[in-house]
Structures are given as C-alpha cells and as structure tokens.
Amino acid sequence: MKSKFNILQDLEPEEEDEAMEGGSNISNNLLNIEEIEQLVEQHLRSDDCHTAAFWAEKLLAISRRQGDRSLSERLPQIANYLIVLTAARAWQTIVTLVERHDLFSKHLVFAFFNVNALFNKEMFSEIIALPIGHLCHWEGVPFITHDTATYIFAHNDISRNPEICSKLDDLVKTHKYDARLLFLLAKTYLMVQNRPAASSCLRHCLLANPYCSEALHLAIDSRLLKACELQEIVGSSSAAVNSSGSKIICHLLEIYDINRETSSFSANSLRLGSLLSDDLSFQSANSFRLYSQGNVREAYNITSTIMHEFGYYSKCFLVHIGCLVHLSKTSELYQLGHSMVKLQPEREITWYTVGCYYYATGQYTTAKKFLNKCTTMNSGFGEGWIAYGHTLFYIDEHETGYELLSSCFTNS
C-alpha cells in the first residue's frame, strides 16, 4: 500500500538513487525510507503521536538532502510533517515553523495549519489579523490582504511549480482543510462577537463539507443559522447529492426545525428516524424539539437516559441543564455541577452548570458570579449570557439585564 508520507513517491527508481546519494551521500543501503514512513503511520494509528512526530522529523531532514531542494520544492513534505505535528498537538512548533518561513501566505493548506494552531492556543486576535485574503475568496468572510508586492511574491513563488501546487491542492481536497479552516474562523468570529462573519463562515463550511456535524451543531447551538436554512445549504451542496450522509443530515435538521410539523415529514424520513432511533444525535435532536415545544418532562426522560449511560454528551447537555432548572431538580444539578468542576474546570459549560444550580435555588448573587465567569471564559456563549441576563433581573439590575437580553435576542 502506498504510504501517504512517502516523500519519494514521485521519483522514478533511478532518480530516487540519485536523490538519496546527493547532498550528504545518503544511500538506499543506509536507510529504508518506507520503513521510517511506516513507523510514522504505526504510531499515529496507536495514538502515540509524539513518537510519530519524532520519526516524521527524520523524513523532513532527509527531504532537505535530496538534491539540495529549495523550500518551495519541499512544501508537500513540510505539509505532511505539519499533519503529524497537528496530531501531536505541538501548537507552538507549528506556529513558529509556519510563520518563520511565511508558509501561511504560500498556500491555503499552511493557512489552515497556522489558524488551527493559533486557535488551540486561544490566540483569536492573531487569527483575525492574518493576511490570507489572497488565498480565500468567500463572500461575507472578512480577510486582511497582503500588500501588492508581498502578494505577487507569494503567488509567483508557488506558481513556478504547478506540480507542487497540485499536490498541496490535493491535500486540501482530501482532508477538507478549506471547510475546517472556515469552521475555525466561524468559532473565532463568534468568540469576538462578529456573528455575521461567523454565520458566513458556517455557510461556506457546509457547502464545502455538508457532513461536518460540528458546523451544524455550532450553527444550531449559537443560533447563527436556522434549521431550515441549514437544510437548504446542505441540499444545495454538490458534494451531498442523494448520498446516505445527506439523507441523515437533512432528517436531523428536520427534527431541529421546531416550526415544522412532524406530520409534514416524508415517509422515507420517518423510516430513517425509526432506523436511527437509538442514535445519540437523533435522540438529542428529539430532546431539543420536545424541550423547545414545552414538553420538558419528555425531553428530560431522553437526556437523563443519555447522561446516565454515556456521561457528558455535548449535543444534549444544554437541553439537560434546561430541563433540570425547569423541573427544579436541584439535587441533580448540584451533583452534575460538582462532577463537572472536578472533570472539566477549564470549560465554560462547567461554570454555566454551577451558575444554573445557584439560579435554580434562588441564590442569585452567587449565580451572577459563576455566570459572569462562564461568559468571561467564552464571550460567544449565548446560553450563558441569557442566564446571566435573567439573573440580573432578580438582583434589581433590571436595566442592565434588559439591555443584555435584548442584545442576545437581537443578534440571534
């Protein structure tokens, strides 16, 4: 089987010998490149990503010695190395490597690796300031563009070698890095409260990859796009025409569309719903629908079963918290908040849970403190702001609470 890390895959046998014997006199008898590539893949499969990165470093070093190739000629090998570093979560190494050599300006694949690393380092303002406008042309998505001279240099540098450019394009297409980049940008713009930009990013993300469940749930949870809009986007994507995946996604969105009557679902949709009735995503969607339509007890029966069997499950967690507050199940809220603080103290959802417990027990001043903490951790967390606004009403901060809630619902 052909290795995806094969740095010699495009060389003929004779050329391979020459390449291996050039530079520092490495020969095929000294090292077997395929064995090193297999070591990378084996350790990636076993989730030993730091060891995989160790061996990937060797491939990158060898690629430098193949006929003294220039940086531009080695871009596919560098991209493969960045794939391994991403698996190893070596964010600072990625940022340093990409920015040190201005790789983010050369091709979209490097822009993705840079943005992904910056996002994981929570450097959101740096992401927005990246000058990658010459690489991306998505309507409604704001980008900073290089000055003309830098743009011409970056364009000429990569366009001199169409074969290299084609390899990088194939990486983007195979791994759907364009869709992933747009998803990260959507989360970034949501963090800085630029909802129109976040919404545009999600539209283009789903057109590029209509199967991206993270984008779908971000759009629904953050109220950036309505379920009916998402159905239209997924349905218009050429990548999803009549596929099994698109049928599943479209029916899931039908369930999330609370304004649509169940009686309007097609026979095939109902059969699909029955077939996937044990699926967690479909159960979560049904709990959302029930809760939104006021059937809180039925929604709670679903979410409590999921939480009991699978623990924390993000797609139904907010609905579960809402049910616990609505049904005044304060003991369950307390236990859940306590376990969340132990397991995930770095998550805003943890402090939202704690804040909701104090809200449900009438301790509004304490609730305000924890809800303020969760919105400080993630300024794009809509449910946190809504709960915070409600809490302010109970401690006689009516005007501030009204303004906050008005802002939340105006932007949703």
Summarize pLDDT for 108-137 with one digit per residue, the tens.
Answer: 999 999 999 999 999 999 999 988 888 888
Q: Which residue has the tokens 């291996």?
A: 20
Cβ of 186: how many Cβ atoms within 10 Å?
Answer: 28
Helix ranges, 22-128 (H): 33-45, 49-64, 75-87, 91-100, 108-120, 124-128
Q: Does residue 98 contact residue 104 with C-beta atoms inside 8 Å?
A: yes
> What is the rounded distance in angstroms from the CA atom of residue 384 to the CA atom of residue 64?
51
Q: Does residue 187 contact residue 217 with C-beta atoms inside 8 Å?
A: no
Structure tokens that stand for 66 in this block: 């193949």
The string of DSSP codes covering 330-355 is: HHHHHHHHHHHHHH-TT-HHHHHHHH
| CA triple 95-100-104, angle to 5 deg | 65
Sign of CA dihedral 49, 212, 410, 296: negative
Q: Is residue 32 over pLDDT 70?
A: yes
Choose the weakest-confidence range: 61-65, 83-87, 193-197, 309-313: 61-65
Sign of CA dihedral 146, 150, 155, 157: negative
Q: Does residue 178 contact residue 208 with C-beta atoms inside 8 Å?
A: yes
> What is the rounded distance in angstroms from the CA atom of residue 185 to the CA atom of residue 106?
19
Q: Does residue 81 contact residue 60 with C-beta atoms inside 8 Å?
A: yes
For residue 197, which of 153, 257, 136, 288 has the smallest C-alpha distance?
Answer: 136
Q: What is the pLDDT of residue 353?
A: 97
Structure tokens that stand for 231 in this block: 């159905």
Residue 189 is which amino acid? Y
What's the pLDDT band for 230 if we cut at 50, 70, 90? Answer: very high
Could you tell me which residue, 16 or 377, shows the higher pLDDT? 377
Angle of helix 244-256 versus helix 267-275 axis, rounded to 10: 100
Using one digit for the tens of pLDDT, what is the confidence trace for 370-397?
999 998 998 888 888 888 888 888 887 6
> What is the rounded distance in angstroms from the CA atom of residue 329 to the CA atom of residue 227?
30
Cβ of 288: how many Cβ atoms within 10 Å?
Answer: 24
What's the pLDDT band for 398 if we cut at 50, 70, 90? Answer: low
For residue 84, which of 34, 123, 42, 118 has the smallest C-alpha distance?
Answer: 42
Q: Which residue has the tokens 């993270």?
A: 214
Q: What is the pLDDT of residue 229?
A: 94
Q: Is residue 306 over pLDDT 70?
A: yes
> What is the rounded distance in angstroms from the CA atom of residue 85 to the CA atom of residue 89?
6
Highest mean pLDDT among 40-54, 67-81, 236-250: 40-54
Q: What is the pLDDT of residue 151?
A: 56
- Percent of the chain at pLDDT exceeding 90: 61
Q: Is residue 82 over pLDDT 80?
A: yes
Residue 152 is which amino acid? I
Alpha-carbon Rg for the chain, nearest whole angstrom, is: 25
> What is the rounded distance in angstroms from the CA atom of residue 285 to the CA atom of residue 291?
10
> What is the rounded distance in angstroms from the CA atom of residue 241 to the CA atom of residue 249?
12
User: What is 335-412's CATH number, 1.10.1840.10, 3.40.50.2000, 1.25.40.10, 2.60.40.10?
Assistant: 1.25.40.10
Choose the weakest-confidence range: 13-17, 126-130, 280-284, 329-333: 13-17
Q: Is residue 144 over pLDDT 90?
A: no
Mean pLDDT of the chain: 86
Q: What is the pLDDT of residue 392?
A: 85
Q: Is residue 8 over pLDDT 80?
A: no
Cβ of 47: how many Cβ atoms within 10 Å?
Answer: 9
Residue 260 DSSP label: S
Choose the weakest-confidence range: 21-25, 229-233, 269-273: 21-25
CA 323 to chain CA mean position, Å:
27
Residues in the chain: 412
